[in-house]
């Protein structure tokens, strides 16, 4: 399968800050690639470089076979971009926005009108075509933004947190639209912090401090997590977590409802130690069992031990 996106040693610095540090990324044509990572990991900076909006400081990036540093406009013709911040004209109507972008992408008259009508139907905004964009709700704005990114039928879609702040039904609707676009053969690169959204991707890349710290299919990522996991059902849950945290060999503890998830390099002896320690503190232990990690666990495990990075880009 051919590569839609390929970067080698892609690097971007802003003064003393290195936002993206030697990224090697390969995205196959037609796949949905999820970019996962905390705020400031360099996801947006990477996307901006791939869209031809930002020049790399070092390294190369080929998008749809074109070098982004050589011919940014050629890249722009075959990619659609949905920025993180809503970036359409609030004082234009839904239809006017679509029509404007279709025009700017040089769609000829008849095709432009047909395409605008198609997109309006597709993103479910046909009956609100004459409303000012400013008056739409957040979820609808996101759908319109996706529509604008799709208006010129790009081979590759870059979506920067397309569902940020949206409610679950809106998110579901957005993902339906993304699968529809993928089914048409478009390659999709989407960033998110929602782990359950990452599960929907064919390939995910964990980005942290400007580099990949893990990638593969969600199943691979879970299988390759180099920590083991215990799920503890105990009461009171806060004390149980505190006890677990104090044990040697434990690398991380997180609480979900009345469950405590305990990460460790190995759980062969830990399970026994943990049970003893909890009981010794008078904590009621219902069960302790080894469980398979979720993507969230993988994410936590991969980013653990590194301080907060608030680069903002």
Partner 1 sequence: MLAVIGHVARKETLQILRDRRTLILILVMPILLTFLFGKALETGELRNIPLVILNQDGSPESNVIATAFSTFDEVQIQGEVGTLREAQDRLAQGKIKAAIVIPQGFMRQIEAGGEAELQLLLDWTDNSSAPIVEGVAQRVIRRYNAERAIRGLWAQGVRPDRGRRLIQPVFVQTEIRYNPGLQYLSYVMPGVIGLTLQLLTVMLMAITIPRERERGTLDQLIATPISRTELILGKLLPYLGISLLNVVTILYVADRWFNVPVRERLPLLLALCTLFVLTSLATGLLISAVSRSQFQAVQIAVFYVLPVFMLSGAYAPIEAIPETVRPISYLFPLMYFCRAVRAVTLRGAGLVLIWKDLAILSGFVLVFLYWTVLSFKKRVA
Is 105 a residue that touches partner 1 (CB under 8 A)? yes
Is 164 a residue that touches partner 1 (CB under 8 A)? no
In the complex, the smallest distance separating the C-beta of residue 105 from partner 1, rounded to whole angstroms, is: 6
Tell how strand 32-36 and strand 17-28 pair up.
Answer: unpaired
Among 58, 67, 96, 118, binds partner 1 (CB under 8 A): 96
Is 4 a residue that touches partner 1 (CB under 8 A)? no
Binding region for partner 1 (CB under 8 A) out of 31-39, 80-88, 191-199, 271-279: 80-88
Is 90 a residue that touches partner 1 (CB under 8 A)? yes
| Token reading at 77 | 């013709």
Is 70 a residue that touches partner 1 (CB under 8 A)? no
Q: Concatenate the DSSP letters of all residues of 237-278 into one string.
A: HHHHHHHHHHSTTEEEEEEETTEEEEEES--TTHHHHHHHHH
Token look-up 């199943």 returns 219
Among 13, 28, 77, 128, binds partner 1 (CB under 8 A): 77
Among 51, 146, 198, 207, binds partner 1 (CB under 8 A): 51
Is 194 a residue that touches partner 1 (CB under 8 A)? no
Is 53 a residue that touches partner 1 (CB under 8 A)? yes
Of the pair 73, 248, the CB lying nearest partner 1 is at 73
What is the H or E stretch that residue 179 is in?
helix 168-183
Binding region for partner 1 (CB under 8 A) out of 94-102, 198-206, 247-255, 256-264: 94-102
3-state secondary structure of 110: helix
In the complex, the smallest distance separating the C-beta of residue 283 from partner 1, rounded to whole angstroms, is: 51
Find all residues with CB under 8 Å of 132, minimum gap 6, and list them. Answer: 90, 91, 92, 93
Site for partner 1 in 127-146 (CB under 8 A): 132
Among 1, 15, 16, 85, binds partner 1 (CB under 8 A): 85
CA 242, 247, 248: angle at the middle one, nearest 5?
A: 150
Token look-up 């990114």 returns 149
d(CA 125, CA 159): 19
- Residue 158 near residue 187, CB atoms below 8 Å: no
Which residues of the chain form contacts with partner 1 (CB under 8 A)?
Answer: 48, 51-55, 72-74, 76-77, 79, 81, 83, 85-92, 96, 99-101, 103-106, 132, 148
């Amino acid at each position: 399968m051919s590569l839609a996106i390929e970067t080698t040693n892609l690097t971007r610095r802003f003064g003393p800050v290195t936002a993206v540090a030697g990224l090697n990324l390969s995205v196959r044509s037609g796949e949905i690639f999820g970019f996962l990572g905390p705020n400031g990991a360099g996801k947006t900076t990477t996307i901006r470089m791939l869209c031809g909006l930002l020049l790399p400081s070092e390294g190369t990036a080929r998008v749809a076979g074109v070098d982004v540093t050589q011919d940014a406009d050629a890249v722009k013709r075959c990619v659609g971009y949905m920025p993180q911040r809503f970036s359409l004209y609030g004082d234009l109507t839904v239809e006017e926005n679509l029509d404007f972008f279709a025009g700017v992408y040089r769609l000829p008259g008849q095709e432009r009108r047909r395409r605008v009508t198609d997109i309006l139907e597709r993103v479910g905004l046909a009956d609100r075509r004459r409303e000012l964009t400013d008056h739409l709700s957040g979820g609808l704005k996101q759908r319109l933004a996706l529509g604008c990114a799709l208006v010129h039928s790009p081979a590759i879609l870059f979506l920067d947190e397309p569902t940020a702040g949206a409610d679950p039904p809106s998110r579901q609707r957005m993902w339906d639209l993304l699968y529809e676009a993928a089914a048409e053969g478009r390659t999709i690169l989407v960033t998110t912090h929602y782990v359950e959204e990452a599960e929907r991707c064919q390939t995910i890349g964990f980005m942290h401090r400007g580099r990949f710290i893990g990638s593969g299919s969600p199943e691979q990522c879970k299988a390759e997590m180099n920590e083991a996991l215990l799920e503890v059902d105990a009461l009171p849950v806060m004390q149980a977590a505190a006890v677990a945290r104090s044990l040697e060999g434990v690398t991380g503890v997180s609480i979900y409802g009345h469950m405590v998830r305990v990460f460790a390099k190995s759980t062969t002896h830990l399970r026994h130690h943990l049970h003893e320690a909890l009981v010794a503190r008078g904590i009621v232990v219902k069960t302790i069992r080894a469980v398979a990690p979720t993507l969230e666990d993988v994410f936590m495990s991969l980013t653990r031990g590194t301080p907060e990075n608030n680069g903002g880009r």
